[in-house]
A and B are shown apart, each in its own frame.
Chain A
């Protein structure tokens, strides 16, 4: 029954570009991109309880690395570009994560927030590479002789990478590493007493989270086709946090649902720009007061009651 449902869902996802207009294909690509970020952020915040308000910074690093690589080395296949974008961002994540080991709670939140601002300023200042405020037009991704220019081609690229990332995250969550991360969330002291190497696992979480976000940033650059620094401001970081809060901290399906909810809301409210932060703020407050586990825990409760 579950396998049948999953199979049907997979078929629908594969046929999606044939079923709906191109704009919805584009929107679905964005949802998948955001879901990858949300999973990455959840591995850090939901699993090890290290809240980050700087993931827009990682996202920007990934997007710019992918864009600059595509412009300077057009022959590189897109898979390599994305992997390099992810690795470069993971390095940045390590550089931020190691000093941040000493910080927790509020301090970590503020340090990551500051990191997000610094990344935007750095992009503005490196204008010989990034063209500053003018932004970069990103050429179509290339896979050998294929140029992935159409919305459908980009969608399949995003979907393929997204499926890989989700599968990897599910497996990380089930292994020794995942359990160690969860133990850190429940109690750092207890985890340490049980032999979990705190520093190593927290740093690992930072690097993996940054890798996910960097790959998603690269995909974002290809899907949208144009990037500029103002797309990566602090409010994007807040949107990412909203995704995992709404979806559910520490839940991979929750990350995907949260990403879909926030992305769709964002799109529907495009005509009401001024009301959007109002609604997002109310959603954040409401989730925290009335639904602390997000949609994921609510769904788990329902299925539990149904049985």
Chain B
């Protein structure tokens, strides 16, 4: 295999990997606040992307506005879900909340099917498909655009967590809820903010990936790879989510070169089982000691 072809595979792997990383980040944001996994994350991504697409179809809006509408829809959806459903189960065990989000994912997917049917739709892209030459290498602008957009978003998130009041509050709640509450942080507000933020990250990921994988009620399944990415990097860690996402994207694209073709779709799942069994704390995670 030539180097140029290898670069092409790796770059497109990094592009899907960035999306996995964004999904992983949004799962981790919610996990750090409410200690639960949001099974409906992918469906929330799908709904907000569909809302943006509807605005595009109805009003012929330019893409940046479409992105804004998708983000606004996601923020509203995230806030509503947390406020109307999750908040009421705050006393329940994590598994109960897990099952609630599972039910939510069924409801959202079915609702999307009723509104927009279960067909696939093409989604307009910021970037062109035709490869451009960089010296001897050829890469698709859409891949570079996805990587660039995701990296920009990740930097913005890092800045948010590091330098804003909300970011500090979210980190404090992730570390120790009771201590955070005693320091005067409104934990409930952090819950809300986490769900909104996670939904917004998902919406941006959705608008970036929809031109590549098409818009459909099934596109929420990408969240499962996001979970694998988060586990790969160490669940709960933001840098881990980024590294895990990129790693998963590249591995998934490289694996078919050496393994039988039929196995490609199983790669993320086999990888997830393997990493959970061999090193549950992930590549960058620390082992969490349990107190009695």
Contacts and interface: CB of A to CB of B under 8 A. Distances in A.
Nearest to B88: A289
A121 B263 contact: yes
Contact of B224 (A113, A125, A241, A280): A113
A288 B100 contact: yes
A74 interface: no
Contacts of A113: 224
A288 B99 contact: yes
Interface residues of B, number: 45
Contacts of A110: 37, 227, 231, 272, 276
Contact of A124 (B36, B99, B262, B269): B262
Contacts of A118: 266, 269-270, 273
Interface string B131-166: 000000000000000000000000000000000000
A289 B36 CA distance: 16
Interface in A260-307: 274-278, 280-285, 288-289, 292
A283 B95 CA distance: 16
B104 A281 contact: yes
B183 interface: no
A111 interface: yes
Contacts of B269: 114-115, 117-118, 121
Nearest to B27: A106
Contact of A109 (B37, B114, B292): B37
Contacts of B231: 107, 110
| SS class, residues of chain A in contact with chain B | helix
A25 to B, nearest CB: 30
B276 A103 contact: yes
A231 interface: no
Given A110-B272, A111-B273, A284 B265 contact: no
B266 A275 contact: no
A115 B104 CA distance: 22
A111 B235 CA distance: 14
Nearest to A121: B266
A285 B272 contact: no
Contacts of A122: 266
A102 interface: yes
A49 B95 contact: yes
Contacts of B280: 102-103, 107
A43 B142 CA distance: 49
B100 A241 contact: no
Contacts of A102: 276-277, 280
Contact of A281 (B95, B105, B224, B277): B105
A105 interface: yes
Contact of B110 (A238, A245, A281, A292): A281
Given A274-B114, A280-B103, A281-B106, A288 B96 contact: yes
B106 A278 contact: yes
A49 B227 CA distance: 21
B277 A99 contact: yes
B94 interface: yes
B98 interface: yes
B62 interface: no
A49 B108 CA distance: 27
A138 interface: no
Contact of B107 (A115, A189, A241, A277): A277
A275 B231 CA distance: 33
A284 B110 contact: no
A287 to B, nearest CB: 8
Contacts of B272: 110-111, 114
B273 A282 contact: no
A114 B273 contact: yes
B5 interface: no
B106 A280 contact: yes
A282 B89 contact: no
Interface string B34-54: 001100000000000000000
Interface of B: 36-37, 85, 88-89, 92, 94-100, 102-111, 113-114, 118, 224, 227-228, 231, 235, 260, 262-263, 265-266, 268-270, 272-273, 276-277, 280, 292
19 contacts: A102-B276, A106-B98, A109-B95, A110-B231, A110-B276, A114-B268, A118-B270, A122-B266, A125-B262, A275-B110, A276-B110, A278-B107, A281-B110, A282-B103, A284-B100, A285-B85, A285-B104, A285-B107, A288-B99
Given A189-B292, A289-B85, 20 more contacts: A51-B99, A99-B273, A100-B276, A110-B231, A113-B224, A118-B269, A121-B265, A121-B266, A121-B269, A238-B106, A275-B110, A276-B110, A278-B111, A280-B106, A281-B102, A282-B103, A284-B99, A284-B103, A285-B100, A289-B88
The 7 A-B residue pairs whose C-beta atoms are closest, nearest first, are A284-B103, A281-B106, A281-B107, A278-B110, A114-B269, A99-B277, A277-B110
